[in-house]
Amino acid sequence: MAEIIWGLATSHVPSIGAAMDNGRTSEPYWSPLFDGYAPAREWMAKNTPDVAIVVYNDHANAIDLDVVPTFAIGTADLYPVADEGWGPRPVPPVRGAPALSEHLVEELIDAGFDITICRELEVDHGLTVPMSVYCPDPGAAWPCPVIPVIVNVIQHPQPTAARCYALGKALGQAVRSFPEELQVAVFGTGGMSHQLAGARAGLINEPFDRMFLRAIEVDPVSLTELTREDYVREAGSEGIELIMWLVMRGALDEQIIRVHEAYHVPASNTAAALALFDNRAHS
Protein backbone atom coordinates (compact mmCIF):
# COMPACT_ATOMS: atom_id res chain seq x y z
CA MET A 1 0.00 0.00 0.00
CA ALA A 2 1.08 3.60 -0.54
CA GLU A 3 2.03 5.67 2.50
CA ILE A 4 2.61 9.36 3.18
CA ILE A 5 6.15 9.82 4.50
CA TRP A 6 6.35 13.57 4.94
CA GLY A 7 4.53 16.86 4.54
CA LEU A 8 6.00 20.22 3.58
CA ALA A 9 4.33 23.59 4.03
CA THR A 10 5.96 26.39 2.09
CA SER A 11 5.28 29.82 0.64
CA HIS A 12 5.34 30.08 -3.15
CA VAL A 13 6.36 33.72 -3.70
CA PRO A 14 7.44 34.07 -7.38
CA SER A 15 10.52 36.14 -6.55
CA ILE A 16 11.89 33.22 -4.45
CA GLY A 17 11.97 31.26 -7.73
CA ALA A 18 13.43 34.24 -9.58
CA ALA A 19 16.19 34.60 -6.94
CA MET A 20 17.17 30.97 -7.58
CA ASP A 21 16.86 31.26 -11.36
CA ASN A 22 19.07 34.36 -11.42
CA GLY A 23 21.76 33.19 -8.97
CA ARG A 24 20.89 35.76 -6.28
CA THR A 25 20.29 33.50 -3.28
CA SER A 26 23.45 34.58 -1.43
CA GLU A 27 22.71 38.31 -1.71
CA PRO A 28 21.97 39.96 1.68
CA TYR A 29 18.25 40.33 0.89
CA TRP A 30 17.82 36.63 0.16
CA SER A 31 20.41 34.74 2.19
CA PRO A 32 18.44 34.70 5.50
CA LEU A 33 15.50 33.08 3.69
CA PHE A 34 17.58 30.46 1.90
CA ASP A 35 19.71 29.76 5.01
CA GLY A 36 16.44 28.94 6.75
CA TYR A 37 15.63 26.35 4.07
CA ALA A 38 18.95 24.49 4.29
CA PRO A 39 18.25 21.91 7.05
CA ALA A 40 14.89 21.01 5.50
CA ARG A 41 16.40 20.61 2.04
CA GLU A 42 19.13 18.37 3.40
CA TRP A 43 16.58 16.14 5.15
CA MET A 44 14.25 15.96 2.12
CA ALA A 45 17.18 15.08 -0.17
CA LYS A 46 17.72 12.00 2.01
CA ASN A 47 14.01 11.14 1.99
CA THR A 48 13.09 11.30 -1.70
CA PRO A 49 9.47 10.26 -2.23
CA ASP A 50 8.20 8.18 -5.15
CA VAL A 51 5.51 10.80 -5.79
CA ALA A 52 4.83 14.33 -4.51
CA ILE A 53 1.27 15.61 -4.22
CA VAL A 54 1.46 19.40 -4.45
CA VAL A 55 -1.59 21.26 -3.16
CA TYR A 56 -1.41 24.71 -4.72
CA ASN A 57 -3.37 27.43 -6.47
CA ASP A 58 -3.13 28.55 -10.04
CA HIS A 59 -2.95 32.36 -10.32
CA ALA A 60 -5.10 32.80 -13.46
CA ASN A 61 -2.26 31.43 -15.59
CA ALA A 62 -3.57 28.00 -16.58
CA ILE A 63 -7.13 28.46 -15.36
CA ASP A 64 -9.07 31.38 -16.74
CA LEU A 65 -11.02 33.39 -14.16
CA ASP A 66 -14.16 32.70 -16.20
CA VAL A 67 -14.23 29.08 -15.01
CA VAL A 68 -12.87 28.52 -11.51
CA PRO A 69 -12.98 25.01 -10.07
CA THR A 70 -13.02 24.84 -6.27
CA PHE A 71 -10.89 21.67 -6.23
CA ALA A 72 -9.11 20.12 -9.23
CA ILE A 73 -6.56 17.35 -9.76
CA GLY A 74 -4.17 16.89 -12.67
CA THR A 75 -4.20 13.48 -14.34
CA ALA A 76 -1.63 14.20 -17.08
CA ASP A 77 1.66 12.45 -17.89
CA LEU A 78 3.45 15.79 -18.07
CA TYR A 79 2.74 19.35 -16.90
CA PRO A 80 4.56 22.07 -18.85
CA VAL A 81 5.87 25.10 -16.94
CA ALA A 82 3.60 28.12 -17.55
CA ASP A 83 4.82 31.35 -19.11
CA GLU A 84 3.70 33.98 -16.59
CA GLY A 85 4.85 36.88 -18.72
CA TRP A 86 8.65 36.61 -18.65
CA GLY A 87 8.96 33.23 -20.37
CA PRO A 88 8.65 29.92 -18.50
CA ARG A 89 10.99 29.49 -15.50
CA PRO A 90 14.17 27.57 -16.46
CA VAL A 91 13.15 24.49 -14.50
CA PRO A 92 12.30 21.01 -15.78
CA PRO A 93 8.78 20.14 -16.88
CA VAL A 94 6.84 18.30 -14.21
CA ARG A 95 6.28 14.58 -14.76
CA GLY A 96 2.90 13.28 -13.62
CA ALA A 97 1.77 10.07 -11.94
CA PRO A 98 -1.46 9.41 -13.85
CA ALA A 99 -2.36 6.05 -12.30
CA LEU A 100 -2.27 7.47 -8.77
CA SER A 101 -3.99 10.68 -9.97
CA GLU A 102 -6.90 8.71 -11.39
CA HIS A 103 -7.16 6.64 -8.23
CA LEU A 104 -7.26 9.83 -6.12
CA VAL A 105 -9.94 11.43 -8.30
CA GLU A 106 -12.16 8.35 -8.09
CA GLU A 107 -11.71 7.88 -4.35
CA LEU A 108 -12.31 11.56 -3.61
CA ILE A 109 -15.43 11.73 -5.76
CA ASP A 110 -16.75 8.62 -4.02
CA ALA A 111 -15.98 10.36 -0.70
CA GLY A 112 -18.18 13.33 -1.74
CA PHE A 113 -15.59 15.77 -3.14
CA ASP A 114 -16.64 16.81 -6.65
CA ILE A 115 -13.17 17.13 -8.12
CA THR A 116 -12.54 18.81 -11.48
CA ILE A 117 -10.26 16.68 -13.67
CA CYS A 118 -7.38 18.45 -15.47
CA ARG A 119 -6.13 16.28 -18.32
CA GLU A 120 -3.92 19.14 -19.49
CA LEU A 121 -2.41 21.72 -17.18
CA GLU A 122 0.45 24.20 -17.26
CA VAL A 123 1.85 24.75 -13.78
CA ASP A 124 2.66 28.25 -12.51
CA HIS A 125 4.78 29.59 -9.61
CA GLY A 126 2.25 28.16 -7.15
CA LEU A 127 3.68 24.71 -7.94
CA THR A 128 7.14 25.33 -9.40
CA VAL A 129 8.41 27.56 -6.58
CA PRO A 130 7.59 24.96 -3.88
CA MET A 131 9.35 22.37 -6.06
CA SER A 132 12.42 24.63 -6.11
CA VAL A 133 12.16 25.13 -2.34
CA TYR A 134 12.25 21.32 -2.06
CA CYS A 135 14.94 20.75 -4.68
CA PRO A 136 17.05 23.76 -5.65
CA ASP A 137 19.14 22.03 -8.34
CA PRO A 138 16.97 19.52 -10.19
CA GLY A 139 19.17 19.35 -13.29
CA ALA A 140 17.24 17.86 -16.21
CA ALA A 141 14.40 16.36 -14.13
CA TRP A 142 12.71 16.79 -10.75
CA PRO A 143 13.50 14.01 -8.26
CA CYS A 144 9.99 12.53 -8.45
CA PRO A 145 6.73 12.71 -10.38
CA VAL A 146 4.09 15.14 -9.13
CA ILE A 147 0.31 15.24 -8.77
CA PRO A 148 -1.05 18.80 -8.83
CA VAL A 149 -4.04 19.40 -6.55
CA ILE A 150 -5.55 22.81 -7.18
CA VAL A 151 -7.58 24.80 -4.65
CA ASN A 152 -9.42 28.00 -5.47
CA VAL A 153 -8.04 30.62 -3.10
CA ILE A 154 -8.27 33.59 -5.45
CA GLN A 155 -11.96 33.99 -6.27
CA HIS A 156 -14.68 34.47 -3.62
CA PRO A 157 -16.13 32.21 -2.26
CA GLN A 158 -13.09 30.07 -1.51
CA PRO A 159 -13.70 26.68 0.12
CA THR A 160 -13.78 26.81 3.91
CA ALA A 161 -10.76 25.88 5.99
CA ALA A 162 -12.81 23.01 7.42
CA ARG A 163 -13.55 21.69 3.93
CA CYS A 164 -9.85 21.88 3.01
CA TYR A 165 -8.93 19.90 6.13
CA ALA A 166 -11.64 17.33 5.31
CA LEU A 167 -10.29 17.09 1.75
CA GLY A 168 -6.85 16.41 3.21
CA LYS A 169 -8.23 13.61 5.39
CA ALA A 170 -9.95 12.03 2.38
CA LEU A 171 -6.79 12.52 0.30
CA GLY A 172 -4.73 10.72 2.94
CA GLN A 173 -7.17 7.81 2.94
CA ALA A 174 -7.19 7.70 -0.85
CA VAL A 175 -3.37 7.54 -0.93
CA ARG A 176 -3.32 4.77 1.67
CA SER A 177 -5.81 2.72 -0.37
CA PHE A 178 -3.59 2.72 -3.49
CA PRO A 179 -2.34 -0.85 -3.87
CA GLU A 180 1.25 -0.06 -4.96
CA GLU A 181 4.07 0.30 -2.42
CA LEU A 182 4.70 4.00 -2.95
CA GLN A 183 6.18 6.56 -0.60
CA VAL A 184 4.36 9.84 -1.03
CA ALA A 185 5.10 13.40 0.10
CA VAL A 186 2.37 16.05 0.36
CA PHE A 187 3.05 19.76 -0.10
CA GLY A 188 0.75 22.47 1.26
CA THR A 189 1.73 25.74 -0.40
CA GLY A 190 1.10 29.49 -0.29
CA GLY A 191 0.93 31.97 2.56
CA MET A 192 1.86 33.22 5.01
CA SER A 193 0.27 36.63 5.61
CA HIS A 194 0.32 38.85 2.54
CA GLN A 195 -1.86 41.18 0.55
CA LEU A 196 -0.71 42.29 -2.88
CA ALA A 197 -3.18 45.08 -3.72
CA GLY A 198 -5.70 47.51 -2.29
CA ALA A 199 -5.60 49.70 0.79
CA ARG A 200 -3.92 47.01 2.91
CA ALA A 201 -1.23 46.09 0.32
CA GLY A 202 1.93 45.00 2.14
CA LEU A 203 0.02 43.63 5.16
CA ILE A 204 2.06 41.27 7.35
CA ASN A 205 0.60 39.81 10.57
CA GLU A 206 3.41 38.05 12.40
CA PRO A 207 1.40 37.15 15.55
CA PHE A 208 -1.20 35.43 13.38
CA ASP A 209 1.49 33.66 11.32
CA ARG A 210 3.25 32.41 14.48
CA MET A 211 -0.07 31.17 15.89
CA PHE A 212 -0.81 29.38 12.60
CA LEU A 213 2.65 27.75 12.50
CA ARG A 214 2.13 26.31 16.00
CA ALA A 215 -1.44 25.23 15.36
CA ILE A 216 -0.81 23.56 11.99
CA GLU A 217 1.46 21.18 13.87
CA VAL A 218 -0.35 20.57 17.15
CA ASP A 219 -3.95 21.75 16.79
CA PRO A 220 -5.02 21.98 13.13
CA VAL A 221 -8.69 21.62 14.09
CA SER A 222 -8.54 25.09 15.70
CA LEU A 223 -7.58 26.49 12.28
CA THR A 224 -10.63 24.89 10.67
CA GLU A 225 -12.83 26.97 12.98
CA LEU A 226 -11.71 30.20 11.28
CA THR A 227 -13.95 31.53 8.51
CA ARG A 228 -12.67 32.71 5.13
CA GLU A 229 -13.33 36.26 6.35
CA ASP A 230 -11.12 35.56 9.39
CA TYR A 231 -8.31 34.42 7.06
CA VAL A 232 -8.64 37.46 4.80
CA ARG A 233 -8.87 39.87 7.76
CA GLU A 234 -5.94 38.37 9.68
CA ALA A 235 -3.65 37.14 6.88
CA GLY A 236 -4.65 39.40 3.96
CA SER A 237 -6.48 38.79 0.71
CA GLU A 238 -3.71 36.47 -0.53
CA GLY A 239 -2.88 35.13 2.94
CA ILE A 240 -5.99 32.98 2.66
CA GLU A 241 -3.69 30.70 0.62
CA LEU A 242 -2.92 29.23 4.06
CA ILE A 243 -6.05 27.08 3.84
CA MET A 244 -4.04 24.90 1.43
CA TRP A 245 -1.70 23.96 4.30
CA LEU A 246 -4.73 22.38 5.94
CA VAL A 247 -5.16 20.00 3.00
CA MET A 248 -1.59 18.79 3.54
CA ARG A 249 -2.07 18.60 7.32
CA GLY A 250 -5.30 16.64 6.97
CA ALA A 251 -3.51 14.04 4.85
CA LEU A 252 -0.92 13.45 7.61
CA ASP A 253 -1.42 11.51 10.83
CA GLU A 254 -2.51 13.25 14.02
CA GLN A 255 0.93 12.57 15.52
CA ILE A 256 3.72 14.03 13.40
CA ILE A 257 7.32 15.02 14.04
CA ARG A 258 8.40 18.54 13.13
CA VAL A 259 11.73 18.24 11.31
CA HIS A 260 12.34 21.93 10.63
CA GLU A 261 10.63 25.31 10.58
CA ALA A 262 11.64 28.72 9.24
CA TYR A 263 9.88 32.10 9.15
CA HIS A 264 11.21 35.14 7.35
CA VAL A 265 9.86 38.61 6.54
CA PRO A 266 9.83 39.87 3.86
CA ALA A 267 10.08 37.88 0.66
CA SER A 268 8.71 40.37 -1.83
CA ASN A 269 5.47 41.47 -0.11
CA THR A 270 5.04 38.26 1.81
CA ALA A 271 5.80 36.68 5.16
CA ALA A 272 7.46 33.47 3.95
CA ALA A 273 7.61 30.27 5.95
CA LEU A 274 8.53 26.64 5.67
CA ALA A 275 7.47 23.80 7.96
CA LEU A 276 8.54 20.20 7.37
CA PHE A 277 6.86 17.26 9.12
CA ASP A 278 7.87 13.60 9.24
CA ASN A 279 4.71 11.47 9.09
CA ARG A 280 6.38 8.35 10.52
CA ALA A 281 5.90 9.14 14.21
CA HIS A 282 4.21 5.72 14.55
CA SER A 283 7.13 3.68 13.19
Binding test (CB under 6 A) with ligand DHB, winner from 238, 261, 264, 274 = 238
Strands, sheet with 146-151, edge to edge from the N-terminal-most edge strand: 116-118, 71-74, 146-151, 51-56, 183-189, 3-10, 270-278, 257-267
DSSP state, 81? B
Residue nearest to ligand DHB (CB): 268
Check whether the bond before 192 is cis (ω within 30° of 0). yes
Binding to ligand DHB in span 56-85, by CB under 6 A = 59
From the list 65-73, 213-221, 248-256, 263-271, the region that binds ligand DHB by CB under 6 A is 263-271
Minimum CB distance to ligand DHB smaller for 107 or for 238: 238
User: Is residue 194 involved in binding ligand DHB (CB under 6 A)?
Assistant: yes
Q: Which residues contact 106 (CB under 8 A, 6 or more apart)?
A: none
Are 2 and 180 in contact by the 8 Å Cβ rule? The answer is: yes
Least Å distance between CB 160 and ligand DHB? 20
What is the distance between the alpha carbons of residues 97 and 114, in angstroms, rounded to a whole number? Answer: 20
From the list 18-26, 43-51, 81-89, 189-197, the region that binds ligand DHB by CB under 6 A is 189-197
User: Catalytic: 125?
Assistant: yes
User: Is residue 13 involved in binding ligand DHB (CB under 6 A)?
Assistant: yes
User: Is residue 269 involved in binding ligand DHB (CB under 6 A)?
Assistant: yes
User: Is residue 12 involved in binding ligand DHB (CB under 6 A)?
Assistant: yes
Q: Is the four-CA dihedral 136, 189, 168, 92 of positive or negative sign?
A: negative
User: Is residue 14 involved in binding ligand DHB (CB under 6 A)?
Assistant: yes
User: Is residue 268 involved in binding ligand DHB (CB under 6 A)?
Assistant: yes
What is the phi-psi region of residue 85: left when phi exceeds 0, alpha when psi lies from -120 to 50, beta otherwise? left
User: Catalytic: 282?
Assistant: no
Least Å distance between CB 253 and ligand DHB? 28
Measured in whole angstroms, how far is the alpha carbon of residue 152 from the centre of its chain?
A: 13
Q: Distances from the Cα of 260 to the Cαs of 8, 41, 220, in angstroms?
A: 10, 10, 18
Show which residues are catalytic: 125, 194
Residues that bind ligand DHB in the complex, under the rule CB under 6 A? 12-15, 59, 190, 194, 196, 238, 268-270
